[in-house]
Structure 1
Amino acid sequence: MIPIPCAYLVVAIVLGILSPKIDSLVGSHVNPSVGTGAARDVLTSTATGMIAFTGFVVSAVLLVVQFAAGQYSARLVLWFRRDQLVKHAIGSFLAAPLFALVALREIDLETSPYSPDITVVISLALLVGAAVLFLALLQRTLDELRPRSLFERVVRQGVRAARDTYPVRLDPAVDGQTPPPNPGWQAREPRELLLSGRPGVLASFDRNLLLAAATVAGVTIELVPGVGEYISHRQVLLRVHGHGPVDDELLRRAVVVSEERTIEQDPAFALRAIVDTGIRALSAAINDPTTAVHSLDSIEVLVRELATRDLESPLTLDERGEVRVVWRAPSWRDLVELAFAEIRMYGVGSIQVCRRLRAVLEDLCSTTPILRHPALEEQLEQLEASLQREFVSDSAELATAQSADRTGLGLGRVT
């Protein structure tokens, strides 16, 4: 958030110092159109007005984002911190008044022999730029805080993360569990590397760097915590299986420990963010089952992508086919439970949520590889058991809730 606004501030200071000097150099060669007094009035109004405007806009945007975090999920509005438009808009809001204040210092009302035309033009240009970015920021904020927009953004990132993290597609003909890798790489007494810095969440790791280090040393590197897992100080971070020399600092640089989870190598976090919004919408305080149905729409897209990926081989081989890097990754069953278990638990009392959930599970069963079916069928069985507990047996409500409907309510399937 800081570098881009700071760059705007530096440019504003430089322009504020140089523009009056340029005016003094070219002032004798052009016809003056702005008097010194008028220029100072323009700059003074710009400085005072933009300072107040910036405070108002930033406060309003933060309130909107805070409301969205409370209404949906704090994990869904992380985009605000990383959005480049937000950074450029804040930078422009701060640059306009800072330029005006610096330029005012350089313009002497009593002794200036030139007309500060260029300074005024730059000030007006900064105002116009700030106004344009304000409108863009307003549109971005209002658009991105709609549930559909938030879900689409997270799903795009999640699908990209799934393809990057699991680049190998699953063979649709596979109908059994992929056998585990040969454990021959495991040493009886591996060397352990502990976390020496601040505790935090394992956000990502450089697979290529670990592969290169392990290949050169002839060892196997095991990443003990999974991506997205919290790591405490002095907790085991890596295990080195083998006796080859490996630079510990190089290995530590390959692992990124952050304050919070990110989606880049953690598609499960995308599911987590969408599920959180869905179950929050089902709470008594909000009571918005339609948003939960929309969350299931997005969950289906991401789960469908994950179903086509080889999730069962969290390891990297070298050119000779030897295991060099091993890490923990969620299984297909873990991902399915993450996607559907809590929404089923909190949404069983909502007929439209149950119908949409059944439609998702049935469609996934009919379109995903056979290997993926058992976990999905378990979710269908658990949904049926939850409905039997929630509704009176043989009631019309139970029959309605047992139907599949991709819209929730309004377009039931013929059985």
Structure 2
Amino acid sequence: MKTRIAYIWKLLLGSFWFIPLSIVFVAIMLALGLVYFDAVSEFKPAGAYKYLLTGGSDAARSILSTIAGAMIGVAGTVFSITLVALTMASSQFGPRLLQNFMYDRINQIVLGSYIATFIYSIIVLRTVKSIEETKFTPNLSIMFAIMLAVANIVLLVVYVHHTALQIQADQVVAKINAAMRKNLRLLIEREKKFNNVTFSNEQLEKAFSQYSIVEKIRTEKNGYLQAVDFDSLLTIATQKNILLIIHFRPGDFLIIGEELLRIHSHTKCDESTVDEIHDCFITGNRRTATQDADFGIHQMVEIASRALSPGVNDPYTAINCIDNLTAIGCYLTQIDFPKPNILDDDKKLRLITKPLTFEKFIDTAFNQIRQYGSETPAILIRLMEGLVRISNYINDEERKEIIEKHINIILKTAERNLEEEADFNDLLKVYNKYNNES
């Protein structure tokens, strides 16, 4: 349940309507509250404030009408700028990068603040009375409206500056890098809270032999696996005294009828248990960063691949992506990945998950870029340099072999595709340096 709530909350934060509507709701409450305070306290401006609020109801109407008109006009401009930025991002970086812009808090706050100020001014304007018997000028509410207008002008300058930075490739890649490191840390910490252990083949066979029935649970719909509620799965497995073998991780694409997991049990599971298990898997039409560990890597690879296409031909952006992928690779060398076997509180094996591996991350990060940049010397040399730098951080022989495999593939690719001897010699210098250090 916590996973589903966190998933829904993430979707809400990534929408263009939730935060803006929340700000509008706060503005409505503020308007009603401040008007009520004006009514019961008969607030009169004194000192310097009285120069801001001179005149009666006509002046109040004029101020509020001007603010409301200006705010709704600027709101239209902000919407236009946002749509232009999204269009540019889609064409330059790819449609899958749009959700990064939608998650941007400044965009959401700016959209909400202008609409909220408009609504606030309209509500306060409605309360201004000029008839002598019911004469009422909400001075405090009007003063707050002026403050909101000034703040929104400052916010507009900030928004334009932010948007200009936001559509720069270097900034986009840097933000993906930072978000991925944070997401990886949270995911690994979340999975490590379980009793994760490594089992030998003999131990696994012994665990399987305790159960007499094996059932296959198949997927019910197509789509990307976006989140898995491991807490609930562990609870179900413990309560029902069963062992679950999960074949997919968030980010994998599911096809109807494919084997999702396997249940080892003493008695056949009833329909309610199967439904509970299905409810622990959340699928959707697209990949999300909620639990997808290599989601950020795919985004950077997409930017690099587009930059290397003949229509764009922007190797500098691709090199920037390689540099950031190298930084992530160095970070991954320091990570102790969670083990796939999860025990309950009684140290009994309950879940076997599809593990996160260093090899999968490195393959995802470097294979596709190498394929797209196979005839570009600068790309191959930078890939070789990046892998050599990653190898310098590794103390584990198994991970060193993974990096060495990729280095040798790049060398073979260069031998086949680099016609200029000087280009190949530059790459060979990096390779020889790696061999000497090894």
TM-score range, shorter chain: 0.7 to 0.9
CA shift, 1:36, in A, is 0.9
- Is the CA contact (8 Å cut-off) linking 1:54 and 1:93 kept in structure 2? yes
Q: Where does 1:111-126 land on structure 2 (aligned, <5 Å)?
A: 113-126=135-148
RMSD over equivalenced CA pairs, Å:
3.3
For the pair 1:65 / 2:86, whether they are aligned, the reply is yes
Give the whole-Å Cα distance in 2 for the aligned partners of 1:235 and 1:119: 61
Choose 34-43 or 137-146, whichever is displaced more: 137-146
TM-score relative to the length of structure 1: 0.84
For the pair 1:52 / 2:73, whether they are aligned, the reply is yes
CA shift, 1:49, in A, is 1.5
Give the whole-Å Cα distance in 1 for the aligned partners of 2:81 and 2:274: 47
**Which structure dedicates a bigger proportion of its chain to helix?**
2
| CA deviation profile, 1:19-41 (whole Å, cap 9, x unmatched) | 44544444486677332111111
| CA deviation profile, 1:355-394 (whole Å, cap 9, x unmatched) | 111111222234312111222222222212211221237x
For the pair 1:104 / 2:125, whether they are aligned, the reply is yes
Give the whole-Å Cα distance in 1 for the aligned partners of 2:34 and 2:422: 77
CA shift, 1:340, in A, is 1.0
TM-score relative to the length of structure 2: 0.80
For the pair 1:204 / 2:219, whether they are aligned, the reply is no
CA shift, 1:285, in A, is 1.7
The amino acid that maps onto 2:366 is F
Partner of 2:306: 280
- Is the CA contact (8 Å cut-off) linking 1:225 and 1:328 kept in structure 2? yes
The amino acid that maps onto 1:3 is F
Of the three residues 410, 417, 420, the one matched with 1:390 is 417
Unpaired runs of at least 5, structure 2: 1-14, 47-52, 193-197
Instruction: Say if 1:272 and 1:178 are closer, same or farther in 2 by CA, change over 3 A.
Output: farther
Unpaired runs of at least 5, structure 1: 170-176, 406-412
Overall identity of the aligned pairs, in %: 21
Instruction: Say if 1:26 and 1:81 are closer, same or farther in 2 by CA, change over 3 A.
Output: same
Choose 267-276 or 77-86, whichever is displaced more: 77-86
Give the whole-Å Cα distance in 2 for the aligned partners of 1:156 and 1:392: 38
| CA deviation profile, 1:96-136 (whole Å, cap 9, x unmatched) | 11112222222234555233322311211221332343334
Partner of 1:11: 26
Instruction: Say if 1:4 and 1:367 are closer, same or farther in 2 by CA, change over 3 A.
Output: closer
Q: Where does 1:302-381 land on structure 2 (aligned, <5 Å)?
A: 302-311=328-337, 313-329=339-355, 331-368=357-394, 369-381=396-408
Equivalent pairs, count: 400
The amino acid that maps onto 1:378 is K
Partner of 2:165: 143
Instruction: Say if 1:28 and 1:294 are closer, same or farther in 2 by CA, change over 3 A.
Output: closer
Q: Where does 1:158-177 land on structure 2 (aligned, <5 Å)?
A: 158-166=180-188
CA shift, 1:149, in A, is 2.9
- Aligned residue for 2:294, secondary structure, equals helix
- Aligned residue for 1:182, secondary structure, equals helix
CA shift, 1:298, in A, is 1.1
CA shift, 1:229, in A, is 1.4
Give the whole-Å Cα distance in 2 for the aligned partners of 1:72 and 1:299: 16
Instruction: Say if 1:164 and 1:46 are closer, same or farther in 2 by CA, change over 3 A.
Output: closer
- Aligned residue for 1:202, secondary structure, equals strand
- Is the CA contact (8 Å cut-off) linking 1:162 and 1:305 kept in structure 2? no
- Is the CA contact (8 Å cut-off) linking 2:128 and 2:137 kept in structure 1? no
- Is the CA contact (8 Å cut-off) linking 1:76 and 1:274 kept in structure 2? no
